[in-house]
């Protein structure tokens, strides 16, 4: 059994899309955890039982590259989720420690993320909102997915509960075009964008609105048509008035990346047509990963921990 009173909060570590995350200690075991609070005051009927069931299923989703959900607690008009604690997120690392992203670490992170994503997809769970803020890292070279599964339960809101704008930079073109049927391929697009960002040291497509995001993608990858993406013109937000951009060369830093196998995998991920995009399972088999080496230490900037 698990009660909210057994956790002593130590400080706030993050503000997710749905709620605030605290560093806390479980006073019964002495273990440090991440405690996420989702306020439910707007849910007039209490917590929907389907939501509790769906979230509780995530407790069984155990994988070394997925942040473990230990418990779910309902108390004081809030849903609390008790998680494994890691010391940093990938966004902070990208912002503050650009030098750590050696080709060896990029490869190791990418493999771990693909492994975690393919495990989720095997279990018919999509992430839908992968971004550097919900990839957590430790000093031993691990990277773990967080903020999983809530997207189906609560929908991805336009704004975080703090009114912060939810980032669109990692969103797949089919989502931006209004597809109703999400597939596993949406997560591969996000991973491709994150992969590029580790190499470019800046976001690949930094749109400031849905249409700006879509146009930034089209300007580099070309505006899709029925020939390259059958069915695209039937998507709800496809516009016949979209400018017809031709595909442009990828950024020089990507084309000239020292690991020559990287480019081929990257091109198979960043495919506009979701049906033609490589799966996580197949991406793990790509020759780029044939010489993967484990990274056992990453110097995290101490002032951020
Ligand atoms: C850190 C976060 C460290 N650890 C931000 C963060 C900055 C530095 O969000 C976090 C989490 C953690 C976290 O250690 N465990 C979890 C976040 C989330 C779940 S979620 C679990 O779902 O993204 O809010």
Convert 59-103 into a string of H (helix), E (strand) and C (coil): HHCCCCCECCEEEEEEECCEEEEEECCCCEEHHHHHHHCHHHCCH
Average pLDDT over residues 186-192: 98
pTM of the entire structure? Answer: 0.94
Closest listed residue to residue 300, CA positions, set 162, 138, 171: 138
CA 47 to chain centroid = 25
What's the token pair of residue 166?
A: 């939810």
220 CB-near residues (< 8 Å, 6+ apart): 205, 247, 248, 250
Q: For residues 299 and 60, give the distance between their C-alpha atoms in angstroms, rounded to a whole number.
A: 31
Closest listed residue to residue 131, CA positions, set 64, 38, 198, 216: 198
Contact status, residue 193 vs residue 229, Cβ threshold 8 Å: no
CA 75 – ligand 1 centroid, Å: 21
Closest listed residue to residue 84, CA positions, set 105, 59, 108: 59
Q: Which of 9, 12, 14 to mutate to test the pocket of ligand 1 (most atoms within 8 A of CB)?
A: 14
CA 146 – ligand 1 centroid, Å: 7
Which protein residue's CA is at the shortest distance from atom 19 of ligand 1?
Answer: 146
Asked if the model's pLDDT at residue 153 lies above 70, the reply is: no
Which protein residue's CA is at the shortest distance from atom 23 of ligand 1?
Answer: 147
The pLDDT > 70 percentage for the chain reads 92
Q: Is the CB of 86 under 6 A from ligand 1?
A: yes
Tell me which residues are annotated as active site: 129
Average pLDDT over residues 234-251: 97
What is the crossing angle of helices 185-200 and 260-269, to 10°? 140
Which protein residue's CA is at the shortest distance from atom 22 of ligand 1?
Answer: 147
Q: For residues 100 and 290, give the distance between their C-alpha atoms in angstroms, rounded to a whole number.
A: 22
Asked if the model's pLDDT at residue 44 lies above 60, the reply is: no
In this predicted model, which residue has the larger pLDDT, 164 or 294?
A: 294
Q: Is the CB of 186 under 6 A from ligand 1?
A: no
Q: Is the CB of 36 under 6 A from ligand 1?
A: yes
Torsion angle of the four alpha carbons 231, 233, 237, 241, in this order, in degrees rounded to the nearest 10 = 160
Query: How far lies 102's CA from each of 132, 198, 257, 262, in Å?
Result: 17, 9, 11, 13
Asked if the model's pLDDT at residue 296 lies above 70, the reply is: yes
Asked if the model's pLDDT at residue 69 lies above 90, the reply is: yes
Give the pLDDT confidence of 154-176 residue by residue, as tens digits.
Answer: 555 556 666 667 899 999 999 99
The confidence score (pLDDT) of residue 76 equals 85
The confidence score (pLDDT) of residue 50 equals 79
CA 195 – ligand 1 centroid, Å: 20
CA 180 – ligand 1 centroid, Å: 29
Closest listed residue to residue 59, CA positions, set 149, 132, 156: 149
């Amino acid at each position: 059994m698990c009660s909210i009173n057994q956790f002593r909060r130590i400080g706030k570590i993050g503000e997710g899309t749905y709620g605030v995350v605290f560093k806390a200690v479980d006073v019964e075991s002495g273990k440090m955890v991440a405690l996420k609070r989702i306020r439910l005051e707007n849910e007039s009927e209490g917590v929907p039982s389907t939501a509790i069931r769906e979230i509780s299923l995530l407790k069984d989703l155990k994988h070394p590259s997925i942040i473990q959900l230990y418990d779910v607690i309902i108390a004081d008009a809030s849903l609390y989720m008790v998680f494994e604690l890691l010391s940093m997120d990938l966004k902070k690392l990208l912002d503050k420690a650009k030098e750590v992203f050696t080709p060896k670490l990029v490869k190791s992170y990418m493999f771990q993320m693909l492994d975690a994503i393919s495990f989720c997809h095997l279990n018919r769970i999509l992430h839908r909102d992968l971004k550097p803020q919900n990839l957590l890292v430790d000093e031993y070279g691990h990277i773990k997915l967080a903020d999983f599964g809530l997207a189906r339960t609560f929908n991805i809101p336009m704004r975080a509960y703090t009114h912060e704008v939810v980032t669109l930079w990692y969103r797949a073109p089919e989502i931006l075009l209004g597809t109703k049927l999400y597939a596993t391929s949406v997560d591969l697009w996000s991973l491709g964008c994150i992969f590029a960002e580790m190499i470019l040291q800046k976001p690949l497509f930094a749109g400031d609105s849905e249409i700006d995001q879509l146009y930034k993608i089209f300007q580099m990858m070309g505006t899709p048509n029925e020939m390259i993406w059958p069915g695209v013109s039937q998507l709800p937000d496809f516009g016949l008035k979209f400018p017809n951009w031709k595909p442009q060369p990828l950024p020089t830093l990507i084309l000239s990346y020292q690991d020559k196998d990287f480019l081929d995998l990257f091109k198979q991920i960043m495919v506009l047509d979701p049906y033609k995009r490589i799966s996580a399972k197949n991406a793990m088999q790509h020759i780029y990963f044939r010489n993967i080496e484990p990274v056992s230490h990453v110097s995290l900037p101490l002032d951020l921990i």
